[in-house]
Amino acid sequence: METANKYLITIIGPTAIGKTALSLKLADEFNCDIISCDSRQFYKEMTIGTAVPEPAELAHATHHFIHNKSIFDEYSVGDFEQEALKTLDSLFTKNDFAIMVGGSGLYVDAVLKGFDKFPDVEDYVRIKIRAEYEQHGLTYLQDQLKEYDPDYYGTVDIDNPQRMTRALEVSISSGRPYSSFLNRHSVKRDFTPIIIGLDAERSILYSRINQRVDMMMMNGLEEEARKLYPHRELNALRTVGYRELFDYFDGKESLGKAIDEIKKNSRRFAKRQLTWFRRNESANWFDFQESTNLIINHIQKNSNL
């Protein structure tokens, strides 16, 4: 396989910006499959709160890595990297193009650049951090990470305890910020990425996010969250859209407050997604309302077409 002849069209951007809609149009144009790199759409028990494409959208083009795991499975970014690369190897035997779409920056980088190597973590550090987390909660992790690695704090999903715990373990064990180990090397891949970023004015983006949350509630997010509530401690469920409703079920806040928190935390998450993706100098950014033909022309100019 020659790198110059195989292209991975990679669509990035914040939540609710329209990545799925664009991926379907590009799949039509280039007659190719779609790989999802949304770290929550992997889980078959989560549909509404993860904005999984509608059945008609999934039927429109062949999708990979959607509802392929259970919330009870252990699944890491390293696992995804290896599985995604194997899938791409297979796809590229039949087509010069494939599409990867999703808002999980760490997973995008793992496929495009390779998974970064980190130093070993001392057992006593791991035990101490997890004990402090169990005693003091999420705020402890947030405060500690902000102190040890403010750069990574500015990009990571600070509502994800697993990622913050991992960053703290590495930072404390090594004596260096976790972010200093990121993007230190780039593995040569057997394909050429063409990275398409979608964005919008903040007021428009935030309005789209608010509307999406309202639609999720209308479509049954509360009922979906109730079914998952008994398993709330699983890492897959410690995410925006579910965590806030779990607090409502616990009687900690009203339903209206929980919905407002989902919207607020989704907007905050979108801001962090953009901070992460904007660091990629190879990305070409387009307004979410940009003509699809213009984007197709850009892809054609950067490929052999």
C-beta of residue 97 within 8 angstroms of C-beta of residue 9: yes
Enter the DSSP assignment of 50: T
∠ CA(176), CA(178), CA(179), 5° rounding?
110
User: What is the token pair recorded at 187?
Assistant: 């593995």
Domain definitions of the chain by residue range? 3-116+184-301, 123-181
Question: Can you tell me the distance from the alpha carbon of 83 to that of 267, in angstroms, rounded to the nearest whole number?
Answer: 30
Distances (CA, A) of 303 to 58, 287, 296, 298: 26, 22, 11, 9
Cα separations (Å) of 83 from 90, 278, 294?
11, 26, 32
Q: Kindly tell me if the per-residue pLDDT of 2 is higher than 60.
A: no
pLDDT band at 72 (very low <50, low <70, confident <90, very high): very high
- At 191-248, the pLDDT tens digits run 999 999 999 999 999 999 999 999 999 999 999 999 999 999 998 998 999 999 999 9
What are the C-alpha distances in Å from 9 to residues 72, 222, 254, 295?
31, 35, 43, 11
| Sign of the four-CA dihedral 208, 209, 211, 212 | positive
Q: What residues contact residue 92 under an 8 Å CB cut-off, 6+ apart?
A: 1, 6, 98, 190, 191
Which run of H or of E encompasses 140? helix 138-148
Contacts (Cβ under 8 Å, ≥6 apart) of 50: 38, 40, 41, 43, 241
Q: Is 86 helix (H, G, I), strand (E, B) or coil?
A: helix
Q: What is the mean pLDDT of residues 165-178?
A: 87
On whether the CB atoms of residues 207 and 21 are closer than 8 A, the answer is no
CATH class in words for 123-181: mainly alpha
Residue positions counted in the chain: 305
**What predicted TM-score, i.e. pTM, was given to this entire model?**
0.84
Whether the predicted pLDDT of 281 surpasses 50 = yes
Q: In this predicted model, which residue has the larger pLDDT, 285 or 144?
A: 285
pLDDT band of residue 183 (cuts 50, 70, 90) is low
* Beta strands 192-199 and 7-12, pairing class: parallel
Q: How far apart are the first and last CA of the chain?
A: 18
Which residue's entry shows tokens 């209206």? 256
Is pLDDT above 60 for 155?
Answer: yes
- CATH superfamily name and code, 3-116+184-301: P-loop containing nucleotide triphosphate hydrolases (3.40.50.300)
- For the cut 60, the answer to whether the pLDDT of residue 3 exceeds it is no
Q: What is the pLDDT of residues 283-300, one digit of tens each?
A: 999 999 999 999 999 999
What's the average model confidence in pLDDT over 40-48?
96
